[in-house]
Structure 1
């Protein structure tokens, strides 16, 4: 069942039930008013009979019957019965519609007034008192006109309920279709969006309702998907190019060695060159794996307390062991500061290692200065080198995978380290900034929330 049909049926059912309750309430009020009105007329008939038959200005029973018979306002199947103080029947209109028991007489003398129904006949009994003489008078009749009017009202309400339910069904289907029309448009537009056509967007409209908000959020999701697909295509293209170059060099060197029949020393030199290329490939593969790891959602990365000052000291010692020609100066602002933050120690180690390695590589004397400072909410790690200038128009592109600045010409690398570092910093809800000038050199600043 479609959503339009469900909404139509639900809307119609709710309105139909409410309309039925209203019709039932209206009929009930009409019935109560008819009953109360008929009771008043019966009581008036009983009072009139009491005044004319047992009151001071009484008339004879025969004359009263004649008057009652020719009265235009006489009630249908009306019957008047009067009992005296001794419960003796002193008057009966003669129709014999009603039988009164002594218990009923006693209750009326006690309650002074009583109303009840027998099938379609309605009866009112009153205690009539005049000149210290008490009588019990019964007036009964059938409200033929009132019941017929109620029946007509019931038929009218039933027909009106049926007609209104049908109209509600048509109106509900029409308005449900109008309401869901934007969803149909969204569905049609979604069907045209494919992996090769992610630039298309849903119509958002200007209503600002829930459907417009849904379209806006879907378009934002498409923006993220398009960026991810574009990054993936760029990543694959650049990775293929970067992998092809060393593989081609390795293949060429091995083929030349096999064909040339080189001496042992020349073969060893060739093997050393191949080994360097293989190590470069290994570093590139590790970088690609790091990029893939840093690209995952932060909720999938286990976060533990990390002592940043201790981590930087470990990296300094590691550089002294791996790169004897590098000089790393480490300055920690205040030894008494709490340098803990929540993060992934392996990823942070990779990020800081890449920045320090990058600084030593571009510095003429392979000297890098690292400073750790703190603010109430953030930790700041700055990595400075006095190497060549990074052009201002390239300060943002150097964080893209496989993108290197013009100052990196002739230096080893694949353009993965800074991209990996930026993703690791963003994974920790931090920021990375870079400033470069001929006078002060290049400084990378990492800001991480405490």
Structure 2
């Protein structure tokens, strides 16, 4: 049974269930017809016995009454007998009254007056009533018939069931099979479409049935799953491509430095210089890998903690404090101009990463002995954080490219900046997580202002 397909299991279950239902239905129909027919016979006997009783009471002597109700009621066979209530001696009866209909004296003693009772004996159904005959003595009137009508009706029903049930069962099985195979047809189509999807092309989707039923819901969920898998696969592929591309240069530099150092004996300072260069490149590799891993994660992987309410001024202040040492190295003064302070439901650690990346870029691309102005103010249902530097600026046709991976506005300063070219890509991702926006205003040799626009109301 465990090796059968679901369709075959359903077919077997359907056959068993239909067979049991038909058996139960047939039994219920048989018993229902038996009870109905028996009630009908008893009702006829009740009418006849009351009529016989009335006819007997119309005569002064019981023997004067002719027991011919079988002719009147056209009930064949019909047996009538009148007995004394005390000695149970037969007073009168129809000529055809069967000898095998017996009476139990103890049972007859328990009969109540004017109450009709019924008793089944062998193949007979006997009705009795005890009455008082003209205040002289009590008599018992018996009216009986055979159960041939009942037996004949039930036999006819059995013949019909023997003939009809197999036909019904066959058609039920065929109909059940058709319904099961028809129901599984969309699933088989889904499986066939899924077999065509592979790692080389995850863009294909299963065609929706547009029926808004369970199959359509399943297709939508599978397509949603495929979309998430494709997105994850693309991130992994992009990470591999970006990592292999970006790590070649520092690894080549490290290899070159080590090979040069090993060609001949050198003094300590030269070895230190080689080690320092290698260490700088290793740190660059480490930072690049960390940034790539961050960008490769989806939102659920990044959002480890729950969103909580934080005061924005605290987040901005902490971000500035963490980059102050870098600003001192470049003789840059950071000025905070905070007009409003509000509580903001956010991921504080991510907002800090975004602000620090913007501040680091502002420091690295500012002229020495200049300043950076950080402003914060509420604008309706948004809070705007702007970072303004007075540095080299960005060409207008290159401003939208700064969010691309590994893009640097000043190629000549790549080595001196210490950046990986991934900072603004990370900023964009964090802002998208918070349903915000970024604006850039920049002029060459004047400076750049980057503004984060964060929605206070989700």
Q: Per the alignment, do residues 330 and 293 of structure 1 end up closer, same or farther by CA in structure 2, a change over 3 Å counting?
A: farther
**Could you tell which deviates more after superposition, 7-16 or 162-171?**
7-16
1:197 aligns with 2:201: yes
Question: Any idea what the Cα deviations from partners look like across 1:200-247, whole Å, max 9, x if unmatched?
Answer: 222222322211221122112212222222222222112211111122
Q: Per the alignment, do residues 294 and 213 of structure 1 end up closer, same or farther by CA in structure 2, a change over 3 Å counting?
A: closer
Secondary structure of residue in 2 paired with 1:330: strand
Tell me which of 434, 439, 443 is aligned to 1:434. 439
Partner of 1:118: 121
Aligned pairs for 1:260-275 within 5 A: 273-275=277-279
Q: Per the alignment, do residues 409 and 201 of structure 1 end up closer, same or farther by CA in structure 2, a change over 3 Å counting?
A: same
Aligned pairs for 1:69-88 within 5 A: 73-76=74-77, 78-84=78-84, 88=89
How far 1:317 moved relative to its partner? Answer: 2.8
Partner of 1:206: 210
The question of whether the paired residues in 1 share the 8 Å contact of 2:437 and 2:454 is answered with yes
TM-score norm. by structure 2 comes to 0.80
How far 1:70 moved relative to its partner? Answer: 8.4
Higher relative CO (CA 8 A, sep ≥ 6), structure 1 or 2? 1
Tell me which of 413, 420, 423 is aligned to 1:417. 423
The question of whether the paired residues in 1 share the 8 Å contact of 2:403 and 2:428 is answered with yes
Q: Which runs of 5+ in 2 are unaligned?
A: none
Tell me which of 167, 172, 189 is aligned to 1:168. 172
How far 1:181 moved relative to its partner? Answer: 0.9
Instruction: Give distance in 2, aligned partners of 1:292 and 1:234.
Output: 8
Q: Per the alignment, do residues 372 and 111 of structure 1 end up closer, same or farther by CA in structure 2, a change over 3 Å counting?
A: farther
TM-score norm. by structure 1 comes to 0.81
How far 1:293 moved relative to its partner? Answer: 6.5
Partner of 2:234: 230
Q: Per the alignment, do residues 286 and 311 of structure 1 end up closer, same or farther by CA in structure 2, a change over 3 Å counting?
A: same
Question: Any idea what the Cα deviations from partners look like across 1:226-278, whole Å, max 9, x if unmatched?
Answer: 22222222221122111111222333344345548778777766665555434
How far 1:182 moved relative to its partner? Answer: 1.2
How far 1:301 moved relative to its partner? Answer: 4.2
Instruction: Give distance in 1, aligned partners of 2:186 and 2:205.
Output: 14
Tell me which of 34, 38, 41 is aligned to 1:35. 38
Partner of 2:147: 143
Aligned pairs for 1:20-419 within 5 A: 20-47=23-50, 49-50=52-53, 55-56=58-59, 64=66, 73-76=74-77, 78-84=78-84, 88-93=89-94, 94-127=97-130, 135-259=139-263, 273-291=277-295, 297-298=301-302, 300-301=304-305, 306-324=310-328, 325-334=331-340, 337=342, 339=343, 341=345, 343=347, 345=349, 347-364=350-367, 367-374=371-378, 379-385=383-389, 388-389=393-394, 391=396, 395=400, 398-402=402-406, 404=407, 407-412=409-414, 413-419=419-425
Q: Per the alignment, do residues 145 and 315 of structure 1 end up closer, same or farther by CA in structure 2, a change over 3 Å counting?
A: closer
The question of whether the paired residues in 2 share the 8 Å contact of 1:42 and 1:124 is answered with yes
Instruction: Give distance in 2, aligned partners of 1:248 and 1:218.
Output: 44
Instruction: Give distance in 2, aligned partners of 1:302 and 1:74.
Output: 89
